[in-house]
Amino acid sequence: MRIDIKDILGKWKEYTLFNDMGMTVSVLDYGGIITEIMVPDRNGKFGNVVLGFKNYTEYEQNHSNYFGAIIGRVAGRIEDASFEINNQPYHLEANEGHHQLHGGSKGFHQVKWSVTPFQNKKAVGIRLDHKSIDGEGGYPGNIDITVTYTLTNDNKLTLEYSATSDKTTALALTNHSYFNLNGDLKNTVENHHVTIDSGHFVELNQELIPTGRLISVDETSFDFRGGRLLKEGFEDVSVQNKIAGKGYDHYFVFDHHLENNAVVQESSSGRIMTMKTDQPGMVMYTSNTLMDGLELKEGPSRRYLGVCLETQSSPASLHHEGFPSVILPAGECYQKQTVFTFGLQS
Ligand code: FUC
């Protein structure tokens, strides 16, 4: 195992983690962005399984896709860019209509994190630290945040998030990697077979804001408990698939009935990715609104090119009862982890 460090544009660093199986994970200090993950297909040929820009300047200039980045303070959409804690109102920057998306325009995806690489017998990784100041972007509390990326020889990539705030605040961190198990963007994710341990998802209105209702996945294209191809949702005529731009952009609440919270499989390459987390749910976004023609590492972007599994609590909890809370009480430790394991179909 080892870590390579590359200078990027004279202002950032890219850390590439290598395990003994040949798997690599590359991460920028800017945004904590995962720029590349190389894993083998069933013939032992390595390919990149995440979307990333060809030119690094694009990460700064074109951040509305949040490729691979750490998202915060609150991932997802906050209705009317405001919320209350103990009757105290907080007003945030509205960066999508009158709502806030993914922490606003100066969210954690735009921060240069301070990075400490580490290596021991079992693992190689980096620790990213950032301090967000009380009142920043309208959010209360000085928060110290640490995100750790760890790679082990069983092809597991573990993302750990920890934080503490000196005031009660809202916090929901996630990573916004777009996975494509074909490798090197050979195809869209329409033939990705996905299993999700979830019997309910959050209903969205036309502005993609949660209505406050949880819908049962029974008899819908949102029932991934037995596995299904993503294209079934791309082609489905249901209102919820259409609202999301003909696909998925919804929060799924986990049932904890299955071994993994999610499994993604792609049969032509034979690649499988399993995901396990202690988060209560995730947004699955299938790049329904990804624009054409961005210059990515292996070719131009297009719709449905990646699938994001954004493990997190739900910002809907700020305005409605019955959703996993994003409130972090003062002095308490926020501690979450998500593990992505890469393997091959048997
Ligand atoms: C996801 C979605 C949004 C948005 C963004 C790029 O997290 O929830 O709709 O398009 O990513």
Q: d(Cα 25, Cα 22) in Å, to the nearest integer?
A: 10
Using the atom order of ligand 1, give the atom closest to the CA of residue 208.
9
Judging by DSSP bridges, how do beta strands 100-101 and 77-78 pair with one another? Answer: antiparallel
Q: Model-level pTM?
A: 0.98
pLDDT tens, residue by residue, 305-330: 999 999 999 999 999 999 999 999 99
**Ligand 1 center to residue 253 CA distance, Å?**
17
Residue 319: predicted pLDDT: 97
Residue 261: predicted pLDDT: 98
pLDDT tens, residue by residue, 257-287: 999 999 999 999 999 999 999 999 999 999 9
Query: In this structure, which residue's CA is closest to atom 1 in ligand 1?
Result: 285
Q: Which of 282, 308, 309, 312 to mutate to test the pocket of ligand 1 (most atoms within 8 A of CB)?
A: 308
Residue 239: predicted pLDDT: 96
Q: Using only C-alpha atoms, what is the Rg of the chain?
A: 19
Q: d(Cα 120, Cα 208) in Å, to the nearest integer?
A: 44
Using the atom order of ligand 1, give the atom closest to the CA of residue 244.
9
Percent share of the chain, pLDDT over 90 = 99
The helix/strand/coil state of 14 is strand
Instruction: Reply yes or no on domain 2-184+270-344 having CATH 3.20.20.450.
Output: no
Residue 317: predicted pLDDT: 97
Domain boundaries, the chain: 2-184+270-344
Q: Are residues 272 and 216 in contact, defined by beta-carbon separation less than 8 angstroms?
A: no
Query: In this structure, which residue's CA is closest to atom 5 in ligand 1?
Result: 65
Is residue 152 pLDDT above 90, yes or no? yes
Percent share of the chain, pLDDT over 70 = 100
Q: Which of 102, 251, 286 to mutate to test the pocket of ligand 1 (most atoms within 8 A of CB)?
A: 102
Residue 271: predicted pLDDT: 98
The residue among 94, 182, 173, 190 whose CA lies nearest residue 130 is 173
Mean pLDDT of the chain: 97
Q: d(Cα 224, Cα 199) in Å, to the nearest integer?
A: 8
Query: In this structure, which residue's CA is closest to atom 8 in ligand 1?
Result: 249
Q: Which residue ranges have their beta carbon within 6 Å of ligand 1?
A: 65-66, 208, 249, 283, 285, 289, 310
Residue 204: predicted pLDDT: 97
Q: What is the mean pLDDT of residues 96-104?
A: 96
Q: Name the residues annotated as catalytic.
A: 176, 310
Is residue 63 pLDDT above 90, yes or no? no
- What six digits make up the tokens of 342? 């890469």
Is residue 224 pLDDT above 90, yes or no? yes
Is residue 165 pLDDT above 90, yes or no? yes
Query: In this structure, which residue's CA is closest to atom 4 in ligand 1?
Result: 65
